[in-house]
Amino acid sequence: MREVGAAVGYSHATLYSFFHDKGELLARLAEDSLQTLLTRLQGAADGAAAGGEPAAVARAFVQWGLQHPHDYRLLMLDTPMALRESLIAGLDALIAPAALPAARAAALWAGLHGLVMLEQGGLAALGGAPVRARRLEALLA
């Protein structure tokens, strides 16, 4: 909390007047990240419905995860299960129009998550954007 306070220009004691503890602060950040991600994905889904391609949601998911690595890791690794369930429900709702069987949809999201995590772990240096694009297209196929 001291580091957060210093980064935003408040004392750590002031932060405790807004958040009970670090866990509450992280949960709030995760909620905000979840809404941002779902809004971005809904925009991609709306674009797909207006003549784009259904894979736009998957591409937007990967792009957001790579552009916001800290938010992505917070959402995927460091949040309470209830928030992750909200994320999964939101993702399921966005891919439902693609009429994928449930098992295939789950495998797709697992693959997309794996791709983002590998890229965040430094795999991008092993081929960069062209290799990432090929991996993403292989998942979508």
Per-residue pLDDT reduced to its tens digit, 54-98 = 688 889 999 999 999 999 988 887 777 777 787 777 777 776 666
Which range (41-45, 79-83, 92-96, 133-137) has the least confidence? 92-96
Q: What is the pLDDT of residue 53?
A: 64
Strand residues in the chain grouped as ranges (E)? none
On average, the pLDDT of the chain sits at 81
- Provide CB contacts within 8 A for 62, sequence distance 6+: 112, 115, 116, 132, 136
| Mean pLDDT, rounded, for 35-40 | 90
pLDDT above 70: percentage of residues in the chain: 88
| pLDDT greater than 90 at residue 139 | no
Token output for 66: 């790579």
Q: What is the pLDDT of residue 95?
A: 67
Nearest C-alpha neighbor of 63 from the set 127, 123, 138, 119: 119
| Mean pLDDT, rounded, for 31-48 | 87
Alpha carbon of residue 40 to chain centroid: 10
Token output for 29: 């950040």
| Mean pLDDT, rounded, for 17-38 | 85
| pLDDT greater than 80 at residue 41 | yes
